[in-house]
Chains A and B, each alone.
Chain A
Amino acid sequence: MTHLHELIVCEYCDAVYHRTPLLRHQSARCTRCGGVLYRHNSLSVEQRLALSVTGGVLLIFANAYPVMTISMKGISNSATLWDAVMVLSSGSITFIALVLALAIIFAPILQIAVLCWVLGFAMRGHRAPGFAGCMQALEKLRPWSMLEVCLLGAMVAVIKLAGLLDVIPGIGLIALAALSMLLIYVAGRDIRDLWGQV
């Protein structure tokens, strides 16, 4: 029997295939159900780490600076991501504030922190302490990290308010835009390749 690591099982229909190396921009698909089996991974460990550290810097900007500022008749007010969470936490709807905090603050912070930790050790060629737990955390966090939705939400909010008062996009919004794209790229499914690399 061939070695198990040369086999890949389709997660959607259980069909088994032999792994073959892919070229750039290629992805392997299941012939039975059409699901993606795996994609070509164009990022090296060094590039991933560099992007993760960039993500960390963007994360600080996205959280420390206001996403938007509004002004009306000389009074102005600005809001950060944390303010958006806090405004939901009052009264009977606290639960949704927890979901939102996870989706736009805690999940991205954890993803970036775990990535930096795991990749930092991978650079030197060995597995970080708690490697298995970290990799599982990345899998579990992925569906709950919703920065790209928040980005679209911020844009809708700008348009919603623009008719009533002056809206000025802040540094936080630009950082948010860059960070959401970067997270899709760096924390995606192909991070699983690390299991074979270190």
Chain B
Amino acid sequence: MSESILADDLHVCLCHGCGQTCDLRESAHECVRCGAPLHRRKTNPIARGWAFLFAALIFYIPANVLPVMRTEMLGQGSDSTIGGGVLEFWEAGAWDIALIIFIASIGVPAIKFCSLALLLITAQRRSSWARRQRSQLFRFVELIGYWSMLDVMVVALVAALVQLHGLGTIEPRPGILFFGMVVVLTMFSAMSFDPRLIWDSPSQQGERSDGAGD
């Protein structure tokens, strides 16, 4: 839809702090209403996006390999990992709970990694493929972002509750730290990506990139 009027055509810019439309000729660096810095494009969106995404991928390994909690019941101790928790519910017949935990702790991070990588690669190539769908994909990643914190909350609550001396205790284990880091880092990755890059056409990119750094 090339008939849309773009912000650059009118020399205006959206303030991400308050949603005000700001005239760049009036004030080029600060929003006149709330004082937040103005960016026509976010700073280094692609480099930052990749950096956070790779860091998250690295942490994803210990998050799944290391145990997330240790259960001691009547003298017997056992460590459990994220995948182990899902299996436990599945084998116990609670397939619905297993599904919720599977989606939140394995599905959502995997979808996020794939989607962010796809968005970053296509934005890097200035592709004009499926722009509308990629915009929707970005909003979806933004929306599901923090639901992976579910596991951290479950482990924290369960460990806080099960402190029955002599009978049973549950303690958190380092896996949960890495798991939480994956969630936080993918959130940062999505926040540093600029969805407006999806719509920049190759010809406009050159003239726009000069203003992107401020």
B45 located at the interface, meaning its Cβ lies under 8 Å from any Cβ of chain A in the complex: no
Q: Which of B9, B157, B165 contacts A84 (CB 8 A)?
A: B157
Q: Does B128 contact A (CB under 8 A)?
A: no
Contact A4 B164 (CB under 8 A): no
State A94–B35 Cα separation when bound (angstroms): 35
Query: Mask for A62-78, Cβ within 8 A of B = 1, else 0?
Result: 00000111101101011
Q: Roughly how many angstroms separate A83 CA and B159 CA in the complex, as a whole number?
A: 9
The number of residues on chain A lying at the interface, defined by a beta carbon within 8 Å of a beta carbon of chain B, is 64
A72-B164, A84-B157 given; A33·B22 CB < 8 A: no
B-side interface residues, number (CB < 8 Å): 74
Interface string of A3-36 (1 = CB under 8 A from B): 0110111111111100000000000000111110
Q: Of A40-48, A50-58, A113-121, A146-154, which stretch is located at the interface? A: A146-154
Contacts of A11 in B (CB 8 A): 14, 16, 19, 195-196
Q: Are A5 and B177 in contact (CB under 8 A)?
A: no
Most chain B CB atoms below 10 A, which of A7, A10, A87, A135: A87
Can you list 19 A-B pairs, Cβ within 8 angstroms, ordered by A? A8-B19, A11-B195, A13-B195, A32-B1, A33-B136, A34-B135, A34-B136, A84-B160, A92-B177, A96-B181, A100-B152, A100-B153, A146-B146, A153-B149, A153-B157, A156-B101, A161-B158, A161-B162, A195-B19
Starting from the known contacts A152-B150, A161-B161, 17 additional A-B residue pairs (CB-CB under 8 Å) come to: A4-B12, A4-B20, A11-B19, A11-B196, A33-B199, A34-B135, A84-B159, A88-B152, A93-B172, A132-B35, A135-B17, A149-B150, A153-B151, A156-B154, A157-B161, A163-B92, A195-B34
